[in-house]
Every structure is written in C-alpha cells, then in structure tokens.
Structure 1
Amino acid sequence: MRTSIKITLENPSEFKAQLLLWSQQFREAIFLDSNNYDQKYSSYDAILAVDAFTSVKTDEHNAFEDLKQYQQITKDWLFGYLSYDLKNDTEELKSSNYDGLHFPDVFFFQPKKLFLIKDNQFEIQYLNMCDDEVEEDLKDIGNQKSEISQKSEIKIQQRISKESYLEKVSTMLEHIHRGDIYEANFCMEFFAENASLNPIETYTRLNAISEPPFAVFFKNNKQFLLSASPERYLRKENDKIISQPIKGTAKRHADVQEDENIKQELLVNEKERSENIMIVDLVRNDLSRTASKGSVEVEELCGAYTFKQVHHLISTVVSTVESDKSPIEIIKTTFPMGSMTGAPKISAMKIIEELEETKRGLYSGAVGYFTPDNSFDFNVVIRSILYNEGINYVSFSVGSAITSLSVPEKEYEECLLKAKAMREVLET
C-alpha cells in the first residue's frame, strides 16, 4: 500500500531539476520527462521513481513469463526496460554480435518512492514502510544545487566504417530486390572505451539539445541510460492500446519559411511515406493479435511533427483489448517494435543480425512503466547514450530504414544527422 500526498508547485521546471539531482543517492532511479511536448496521449509531464523495494533482472530466456509473474505478484507501479534481444524469447532467433555494455536483458523495479508531476500539481506516492520520510525528503530536494564537474576527454569511434556501411546497405538492398524483405532498420554503433562521464550532466545536455517527449534518465547501480527519445512504442490506457511509430526524417532549417517548406516536402516524400506506411501495416498486424475484433484503427497516418533537431513522420495506430489480456501478453506480441525491425518482421530481424556488428541490447528496446491497474507506457530507446560506469564503456547507436528507394549514401548521411546530438554532448 502507498501513502499519497498532493502538493501545488510554484516552479515545476526547477523542481524537476532538483528531483533529478536528488535521485542520484539511490542505487535505482528512473526519471521520465515529456519536456511539456504537446501530445494527445499523456498522463504526466514527468515521473521520478527511486529506491527498489523489489526488482526482477533476467536474461532473454523465458523473460516475458518471468516479467508476467513479477507484475501479477506485485500489483504495483513497476519501472524498467526491455532490451531488443527479447526477440529471442518470442521467435527462433539469436544474438551473437559483440556486446560492449553487458546490461541485463530485462530489469524492472518496484520503487519505494514515487513522484508524479502534471502541470503544477505534484503527487508523492511512498510505500507505507517509508512514508515518514516525506517531509525530510522534500526539504532535501529543495536544497539540491547542480555542480559542474571537470569533463574528461571522450574519443568516439565508429564500429562500422563508411565503406563497410555502404556495402552492407547494398547487401540489404539485394535482399529487398529479391523479395526477402520490404524494409529493414539497419543500425551501427558509436562507442568509447576507457571513458568517464557525469551521467546527470550528460543527460541534461542531451535533453536540452532535443527536448523530446520521451526523455529518460535511468540508473541501475553503475549502468545508465541517457535518452532523448522522440518515439512512443506502446501505451495502454484502460482497454485502449496506442502505438506511434516514427518513420520519415528531415533536418531542420534556421530560416522559418525554409523550415516549413522542408516539413511540407517531408509530408509528400514518396520514400519517407512508404517507410512509414509499411511499418503501420506491420503494427496493425501486431496489434490485431490481442485486439477485440475489428478494433484496430489508424487514427493518424504520416503526420508531420517538429522537434528541435529534426522533423518526423509519425502515425498513430490504436486498438481495444479485452480485460483478460495481460499487459505482458500485449507487449510480447508486438515486441520488438516495427519501426526498429522491418517487414516482414522475422525475416528483417534475421538479416539485421547478419549485417550489424553490435548486439543492440537496450538500444531499440523500450523503457517505461506499469501502473497498479495494468496500464502502461513505453518509449523506443533511440537517440540515447548508454554507459557502463563499471567498465568505463560508452555507446550510442543510430539507424535508418532501408527500402527499395534507399540510396546508401543518403542513408549514411541520415545516420550521421541522428548521431549529431549524442556526439556533440560527448565530445564537446
């Protein structure tokens, strides 16, 4: 059981920054921030969950069943992540590429202390065992002040050279022209060894560059995710399921009129629209596996949305589910998300595994939460920096959708555009 206290905030943005600083004393912490991005589906502007009362950590084998049992037993708020390689738990697939990060495939925890912010309203939910600490914690949060630390030099390396990237995309195009697949998301890693960074400062800078709707600061002891994700993977509101795949990207322009022209061109670009529409078809198929009959709908097809760095095409696909469908079953039948795999999904994942050189792990997985009433909300882990402080390894990956209309050089340029913010944050 939880004790709930509601407070009105005078300065929500300042309080969010203090909350994040305060969270660093705990072994487990997750901070989710919408950056007040205007969106139709949203419960909170920001959430902080800290200090695990219980947790589950496992590899890919039987992962969804383990998570299902954990979620049904706790019947409480749970926060954590699902890594991309859980595909091996649902299909006859494997992941044998290089892994420099060594994160568990699944990690979720039940927080002792939970903070929920919506507009200027702030709700505290503490487990009853620690509800006598609220007053002292609030005082401590209010005293938090950021300190800029000395930044060490980080040298970023590229796992796949440009020449090799162009060859691999050409190979993927051969698969497409043969009819093996229609589309696949091909990714490459950028990394640094012997790297030391301040996770809070790094996250704060990355978030400031992008201000996305699904930003995450996640800490599990010495393992960190610093995410500026613009994409929702899957949300459940009561009996409604919402998926919002992103496919289609165009860079911003400093000139207002030229920027608007670029956005309008994106809306009618044949290649970018075809990328999105193919994934929408895949998502519709995935959602139909748990949906009530005839309830899968495309609410919006290829809407153009603007972010600080780029414009994106986003579609919204929805369905309704019966009350007997468990949250884990709904996720399991749609995971990994179509925007990070391709179509047909299994064939695309096999080809991706052959051509990529890094195990994706948490990259292109999902981070989010379950509520006590079986709702949930998860992002797609993209535009993210992963850091294992225990072995001083930093990693970020980027990718693009390869279709029959793809030009390898342009796909490479799109990857560099997506890598720009992470590189800037780490190297500057």
Structure 2
Amino acid sequence: YVCADPVAGIMLNDEVLSTYFPDGSRAEKTSFKLTEEIAAFKAAFETDVLPDKRYISNGLFGYFSWNAVQHFEDIKFSAVTPDDEKIPVLQYHIYRYIIAIDHFRNEVTLFKNNFDGTNDDDLGRLEYIIQNKNFPEYSFDTSGEEQSNLTDEGFKGIVEQMKKHILRGDVFQIVPSRAYNQGFTGDEFNVYRCLRSINPSPYLFYFDYGNFKLFGSSPEAQITIQNKVANIFPIAGTFKRTGNDEEDAELARKLEMDPKESAEHVMLVDLARNDLSRHCRQVEVKSFKEVQYYSHLIHLVSKVSGKLQPGASAIHVVADTYPAGTLSGAPKYKAMQLIDQYEGLGRNFYAGAIGYMGFNDEFNHAIMIRTFMSKNNQLHYRAGAGIVADSVAENELNEVNNKIAALRKAIVMAKEI
C-alpha cells in the first residue's frame, strides 16, 4: 500500500495529544486516557461500504513507539532518548489517497476518500503521478563509522546482570537490546530497497514523516485482529543460517531440540496466552514451535488466538498486550523496568508497533524490529536477545550481531545503487 495526502490525524508528542480533522479543526489535550482518545478519534468518522473488500481503502496508518506503554500501564521509564533522536510517541493519519499494489495479480487499485459529503471520484491527478517516469534519483553513502551505545563487553555485562535477576526470581526471561547508528548522505530510500531484497519478510514498510522516516522488514506481528479474532505470533528461538540448505535443515532440527531456545519460546507463548485472556475467550495455541526460514536466520514461531469477548474493542486488546513479550520478557512489567534500568538509552521507536488500524476494529501491526529510523542524516537501528537462566553471554552477543546483519548488509549494498 502507498498512502498520500493526510487529511486527519492523532499524535502524541511531549505529553501533548493533538488531533486534526478534514474540516481544518484542531485540538490539543494534556490530560487524557490514550485508549479512549484513540477510540473517540476513530468514532468521529463514518464510512461507506468499502468499494473493494480485497484491499484496505481507508483507516488509520501509523505507529506506537516503545514509550506508549507508559499510557497503557502504570509504569514510568527513566532512560532518556537524545533530543535529536526523539519522535512522537504515537502518530496515526487518515489519508485521502490509498494505492493498493497487488503483486500476485500485477494490478494497482486506486482509492480516494472524500470527507465533505461529495462523491468526487476523480483520480486523474494520481494516475498522472503514477505514470510519470520523470522523477529524480539520488545516491546514498555512509558518513563516518558505525557507533553503538554499548561495547561488546558492555552488552555481555548486561546479559550477566539479567541472569542474576533471573536467578533471584525477578523475571523468567528478558530481552535486552543494543543500539547502533550510522551517519549518511543522500537518499536512505535506497537502503530500504536493498533491505526488502536482502531480507524479505511478512511486513515491509516505509513511513515518511518529513523530518524522520521509519522503514524495515519485520518478521513478526505485534498483534492482528480480524473478524473479532485476535492473533499473536511469538517468535523466540534463533539460529544463524549457513547458506547451505542441508546444513540449515540440520540446524533447524537442533533449534527445535535446544533446551535454552525451547524454554524461552514456551515462556513467551504462555505470556501471549495470558495477555489475550484479558479480553478474549477460547484462547488457544493454534500452532507451536514451527520452523521458519528468513534470509539470515532460522526462527521458531507459534500462533496464539482468541475470540474477543462481547464489548471488547481492538484498541483495548492492543493496549493490554503491548509491548510484545518477545521484545520485553516475562513477567512483562518487571522485565520492562529492568530493561529501562540497564539499557541506559531510551528505546524510542525500537520494539514499538507500526501498521494499520481499521474503522471496523481490524488491527494489523508489525513489531519494529529489523527496522531503521532515519533522522538528521543518521540511521538508527537496534537488536536484542532473549535471556534465560542458562544463557551464555557470548552467544547472546552473537545473536544480536546475527539479527543486525541484514541491516548492515543493506547499508553496504545501498552505496552501490
């Protein structure tokens, strides 16, 4: 999907909640309950019958950052994000134009949303832009060396501290992360082009907000809700691919049998079941520890589903399952407190959720992993590792490097376009 011409939106920035509407009206609040405000914003719009139900033709597109959980849970973070890296905690827009690109049918479908009661379906301007081949192209290059908030030894030290908390019984599993940044000049869209080629994933996205951009190739959904059924797909258990199919198949068998990876996976499946049980009935594990192959990694993936209870809305289910256990730990609340204490740098976009929220209570968001944030000619990216009692610090460092490998490769390739 490609969206253009935002005509309404809701944004949370510096504890100020802002909304704007197609009629030009705007409002700001400093005292609010976020879930209720999002629900009210959606309810302000009435929608006609969708012209083509195969595709998304209206709704809200945007993201929650990691810090949004402070508005869903009674928790406060102290780790700071530098001012030049800060982005709004939450940002969603409704767009006048939505372009649905069907790669299987080789078709493009154009939608125009009208907000003034007219039935203006003129799409000529959009068709002209799509067919116009005269557009500028810019190169990409890196500037300086890659930087990180932690040294290798520093990250391994955090792993050891987390293991102490696990042995004390504070948490059973936890996911510390390490941040990186790389200076650049030129057009970072080339990095996205390379990333989607190197690391094709279920969620490929590029959101341009003007003064910053979010783009990535995420393998994991935060949560999906459709027809009153909510699904969480925990990914936990990671081995690096070798490039040899036979060796990869053997690695996959070892991954399924590995006690550390299995323990981590079971804990996060249980966490997903508990999260969904807050607003769902008939919560079931639909699939368990399925092996999935990606460009650089092999993962274990499960599917946990539940039917929404009568009266439960999508946004309340989302809030009570946020953030993903696979990016925080179990128990989630204590894991988030420890992450905030030890990482020392605010997570900002990392481990947030990005995607689509429908007026009909559908919800489909990716977790912001394998994701870049571009701001002030810096690319920011991050990766973490799941820690349990028998984790080995060196192995967890290697897991972070394995997860970041596709992003680093995309940066290198983008310089050659």
Which TM class, normalised by the smaller chain length?
0.7 to 0.9
Q: Tell me how far apart the structure 1 counterparts of residues 380 and 402 of structure 2 sit (CA, whole Å).
A: 17
The one-letter code matched in structure 2 to 1:426 is I
- 1:214 is aligned to 203
Structure 1 contact 199–224 (Cα < 8 Å) conserved: no
Matched, 1:112 2:96: yes
Matched, 1:392 2:363: no
Deviation of 1:221 after TM superposition, in Å, equals 1.6
Structure 1 contact 148–201 (Cα < 8 Å) conserved: no
Matched, 1:166 2:191: no
Structure 2 contact 216–369 (Cα < 8 Å) conserved: yes
Q: Tell me how far apart the structure 1 counterparts of residues 336 and 228 of structure 2 sit (CA, whole Å).
A: 30
Q: C-alpha offsets along residues 121-163 of structure 1, whole Å, 9 cap, x if unaligned?
A: 5432211369554133223212346765232323210110111
- 1:66 is aligned to 37
Query: SS of 1:359's equivalent?
Result: coil
Structure 1 contact 188–357 (Cα < 8 Å) conserved: no
Q: C-alpha offsets along residues 348-369 of structure 1, whole Å, 9 cap, x if unaligned?
A: 1100111112211111010011
The equivalent position to 2:179 in structure 1, one of 180, 189, 199, is 189
Q: Equivalences for 1:353-368 in 2 at 5 Å?
A: 353-368=340-355
- TM-score, normalisation: structure 1: 0.84
Moved more, 203-212 or 257-266: 257-266
Q: Tell me how far apart the structure 2 counterparts of residues 134 and 320 of structure 1 sit (CA, whole Å).
A: 39
The equivalent position to 2:111 in structure 1, one of 122, 125, 129, is 125
The equivalent position to 1:177 in structure 2, one of 155, 167, 175, is 167
The equivalent position to 1:82 in structure 2, one of 60, 64, 87, is 64
The equivalent position to 2:303 in structure 1, one of 300, 316, 325, is 316
Q: Equivalences for 1:149-164 in 2 at 5 Å?
A: 149-154=138-143, 155-164=145-154
- 1:26 is aligned to none
Matched, 1:136 2:125: yes
Matched, 1:95 2:77: yes
- 2:252 is aligned to 263
Q: C-alpha offsets along residues 294-321 of structure 1, whole Å, 9 cap, x if unaligned?
A: x100001111001111111111000001
- 1:409 is aligned to 394
Q: C-alpha offsets along residues 181-221 of structure 1, whole Å, 9 cap, x if unaligned?
A: 0000110100135x334132111111111011111111112
The equivalent position to 2:317 in structure 1, one of 308, 320, 330, is 330
Q: Tell me how far apart the structure 1 counterparts of residues 165 and 155 of structure 2 sit (CA, whole Å).
A: 16
Residues 316, 176 of structure 1: alpha-carbon distance in 2 compared, 3 angstrom cutoff: same
Give structure 1 stretches of 5+ with no counterpart: 1-46
Q: Percent identity?
A: 26
Moved more, 65-74 or 49-58: 65-74
Structure 2 contact 182–380 (Cα < 8 Å) conserved: yes
Q: Tell me how far apart the structure 2 counterparts of residues 354 and 145 of structure 1 sit (CA, whole Å).
A: 51
Q: Considering only aligned residues, what root-mean-square deviation do their CA atoms show, in Å? A: 1.9
Query: SS of 1:339's equivalent?
Result: helix
- TM-score, normalisation: structure 2: 0.86
Q: Tell me how far apart the structure 2 counterparts of residues 172 and 303 of structure 1 sit (CA, whole Å).
A: 28
Structure 2 contact 77–337 (Cα < 8 Å) conserved: no
The one-letter code matched in structure 2 to 1:104 is P
Deviation of 1:92 after TM superposition, in Å, equals 2.9
The one-letter code matched in structure 2 to 1:229 is S
Deviation of 1:410 after TM superposition, in Å, equals 0.4
Deviation of 1:427 after TM superposition, in Å, equals 4.3
Structure 1 contact 84–361 (Cα < 8 Å) conserved: yes
- 2:49 is aligned to none
Matched, 1:374 2:361: yes
Q: Tell me how far apart the structure 1 counterparts of residues 128 and 346 of structure 2 sit (CA, whole Å).
A: 43
The equivalent position to 1:306 in structure 2, one of 284, 293, 296, is 293
Structure 1 contact 231–380 (Cα < 8 Å) conserved: yes
Give structure 2 stretches of 5+ with no counterpart: 16-31, 47-57
Residues 145, 298 of structure 1: alpha-carbon distance in 2 compared, 3 angstrom cutoff: farther
Q: Tell me how far apart the structure 1 counterparts of residues 134 and 219 of structure 2 sit (CA, whole Å).
A: 28
The one-letter code matched in structure 2 to 1:103 is I
- 1:15 is aligned to none
- 2:261 is aligned to 272
- 2:194 is aligned to 205
Q: C-alpha offsets along residues 254-293 of structure 1, whole Å, 9 cap, x if unaligned?
A: 222111111221122111111111011011001000013x
Q: Tell me how far apart the structure 2 counterparts of residues 245 and 147 of structure 1 sit (CA, whole Å).
A: 41
Query: SS of 2:306's equivalent?
Result: strand
Query: SS of 2:140's equivalent?
Result: coil
Q: Tell me how far apart the structure 1 counterparts of residues 171 and 379 of structure 2 sit (CA, whole Å).
A: 32
Moved more, 61-70 or 376-385: 61-70
Q: Tell me how far apart the structure 2 counterparts of residues 235 and 148 of structure 1 sit (CA, whole Å).
A: 36
Residues 95, 56 of structure 1: alpha-carbon distance in 2 compared, 3 angstrom cutoff: same
Q: Tell me how far apart the structure 2 counterparts of residues 144 and 369 of structure 1 sit (CA, whole Å).
A: 29
- 2:20 is aligned to none
